[in-house]
Amino acid sequence: MDAGNWEAAKDLFAKAVKEDPNFDMAVDGSSSCPGASSPDIGALASITAAQMASHAEASVDEAETAQEAADAEAASMAAGGGG
Q: What angle do CA 58, 60, 62 make, to 5 degrees?
A: 70
In a domain, residue 1? The reply is no
In a domain, residue 83? The reply is no
Sign of the alpha-carbon dihedral angle for 61, 4, 8, 23: negative
Domain range for 40: 6-78
Q: Tell me: the pLDDT tens digits for 29-72?
A: 888 877 767 666 666 778 888 988 998 999 999 999 999 999 99
Count of domains observed in the chain: 1
Residue 3's pLDDT band (cuts 50, 70, 90): low
Average pLDDT over residues 20-31: 87
Q: What is the pLDDT of residue 68?
A: 95
Higher pLDDT: 81 or 9? It is 9
Higher pLDDT: 6 or 57? It is 57
